Structure 1
Amino acid sequence: MEATRALSDADWRAHRPAVFGAAYRILGSVAEAEDVTQDVWLRAAEADLAQVRDLRAWLVTVAARTSYNVLQSARVRREAYVGPWLPEPLPTGPDAAAQVLVDESVGTAMLVLMERLTPAERVAFVLHDVFDFPFARVADVLGTTPAAARKLASRARARVRADGRRPDASRAETERVLRAFKAAAEAGDMAGLVALLHPDAVYVGDGGGRATAARRPVRGAETIALLAVRSVRIARPDAVRLVEVNGEPALATYRDGRPVWLDTVEVADGRLTAIRRLANPDKLGPVAALGHI
């Protein structure tokens, strides 16, 4: 009689961050990634794992295949999304509820870039470039050949690199600029805000039709500074906190104890080059209980 092997609690605790991390990178949604993670756990709990040599790879493969199916069905919804789409923020600081593997691929800027990929390109990129899966296993997830999987990953990599992102600032520099931006916006200091913004800075707002936000990207230091001052005067928040999401410092704005918006940014040479403001309340749940860094 052949021996059987069940999923142990220790094995699941060890590999859950990779399972959730793969799902989140593919989907860009905490809620959807949590659903996928739960599905993977249920499937693994019911499976005989005696013949599984690499449990982490098996679990991540199941997560990727499930996420791929979810992403394909979600594509229609996202194409009909009102205004720009930003990923649901993932708390990664000391107040985070769960551990997750954090690197550049989980950053907000990278997730925005990956949103431009096809579902197959995104899965191939995440599995090969982030999780170092061989193309044979990537092909198995996508239902294609290893050669086709290689092309998908190569095309995704080229599209991501073609964006021409500026070098990332250090964490300390980003925090310094965010604190200065917060102080200037609260004080209505237009000159101070303009000085903090790159002349070609871009502002992207995601209200999803559920909150007030610019339907198109806003460009230029003076225009963005005016928008920042006006939004504070209209919202009249009672707290603005420096938090950590997606492995990066960010500003979370609260009113009556509830998050109103979340600002993630890019900084180069001491100035803000991009501000991404997430105001869709359906996506702000993860930052509701975050405190100061």
Structure 2
Amino acid sequence: MGDAQAPRSSERQDTLIAEWETHRPAVFGVAYRLLGSVADAEDVAQDVWLRAAGADLHEVADLRAWLVTVAARRSYDILKSARSRRESYVGPWLPEPLLTGPDAAQPVLVDESVSTAMLLIMEELSPPERVAFVLHDVFGLEFGRIAEVLDVSVPASRQLASRARRRVAKAKQSTADAPKAERERLLAIFRAAYESGDLAGLVRLLHPDAVYVTDGGGKVSAARKIIHGGRRVAEVMVRVGRMWRPDHIDFVEVGGELALVCRWQGRVYSIDTVQISDGLITAYRRVINPDKLSHV
């Protein structure tokens, strides 16, 4: 009898492993959208797998929803503690770059909610609002599950999602981005101007009210305040370019959008994402914190 049970147990394990590989991108995806960190999302995914492997899932009708719910609950706990860490973070905070191109090691459900601009918008939401918005509007979970994650009533979870949706919609009105072809064209021109130290060329590409954000996390030299004004941004970038000349500047897909990756002395030095509106760069965001680039 024991011999008969062992094969059945093995078959269940094999089935779970196969289903896990199918649903893992969603587990990672919900955690990344909530936390803005690849490393934290990987840790959450590992925690969810261990929970699933040790659970009795016979009564689970929708395994994807169950896994996503477990990931959201764990991420919510981390998100609440992350708020205090953000306050002590050295300099501006930017999301950890998520490679989403065809060669990316981590498959993820790619849509606008993993773009740098969108993650920064969601960063302004309260943790409950962010969870409600991501679970309902991105992953389509029912409010009953969301209420369980947040430990609130179903009507309260609906209100949180609705409030978050309004706030996101309002913020998106001022962050409308360019289509793919325009982004490719503008980034190619920008790269050439940056590599040649063409101040006038950079000024022409930057919106007069453009901002330049660098995330060094106190680990490397970086501006600890946001730099405002297109000409000022261009001047800083030219000066930085003269001091530090990257070996290569290549294109890479980050958060579903074309970005730039700068390599220096055989390693990734920075990943730069841009926000474009009306043919001009309105925000240039550079991640140089080595802790956020170690997975690239």
TM-score, with length taken from structure 2: 0.93
Partner residue of 1:87 out of 89, 95, 113: 95
More helix by share: 2
Give the residue type in structure 2 aligned to 1:168: D
The one-letter code of the counterpart of 1:255 is: W
Residue 274 (str. 1) matches residue 260 (str. 2) = no
- Taking the TM superposition and a 5 Å limit, the aligned residue runs for 1:4-83 are 6=13, 8-83=16-91
Instruction: State the AA in 2 paired with 1:238.
Output: D
2:245 and 2:37 mapped to 1: Cα distance?
28
Identity of aligned residues (%): 62
Structure 2 partner of 1:222: 231
Specify the alignment match of 1:188 in structure 2: 197
1:86–1:278 Cα contact (<8 Å) kept: yes
Shift of 1:8: 2.0
User: Equivalent residue of 2:250, what SS?
Assistant: strand
Q: 1:262 aligns with which of 259, 264, 271?
A: 271
Work out whether 1:250 is the aligned partner of 2:259.
yes
Aligned-residue offset at 1:45: 0.9
- For residues 146 and 250 of structure 1, what CA distance do their matches in structure 2 show? 40
Structure 2 SS opposite 1:264: strand
Q: CA offset at residue 187 of structure 1?
A: 0.7
State the Cα deviation string for residues 62-109 of structure 1 (Å, max 9, x = none): 000011111112221111111111000111112201211000111110
The RMSD of aligned alpha carbons is 1.4
Contact 1:89–1:286, Cα closer than 8 Å, also in 2: no
Structure 1 position 268, deviation (Å):
1.8
**Aligned match of 1:138:** 146
Q: Is the 8 A contact 2:112 2:118 kept in 1?
A: yes
Return the index of the structure with the highest Cα Rg.
2
Of the three residues 175, 182, 195, the one matched with 2:184 is 175
Structure 2 counterpart of 1:206, from 209, 215, 235: 215
1:162 counterpart SS class: helix
Matched residue SS, 1:96: coil
Unaligned runs of 5+ in 2: 1-7
1:217-263 deviation digits (Å, cap 9, x = unpaired): 21211111111111111112111111111111111111111122111
* Distance (Å, rounded) in 1 between the aligned partners of 2:240 and 2:129: 37
Deviates more, 1:195-204 or 1:103-112: 195-204
Structure 1 runs not aligned, ≥5 long: 288-293
Check the 8 A contact 1:237/1:255 in 2, yes or no.
yes
Question: 3-state DSSP class of the match of 1:168?
Answer: coil
Tell me the matched-pair count: 285
Q: Give the distance between the partners of 2:122 and 2:91, measured in 1 at CA.
A: 17
Partner of 2:5: none
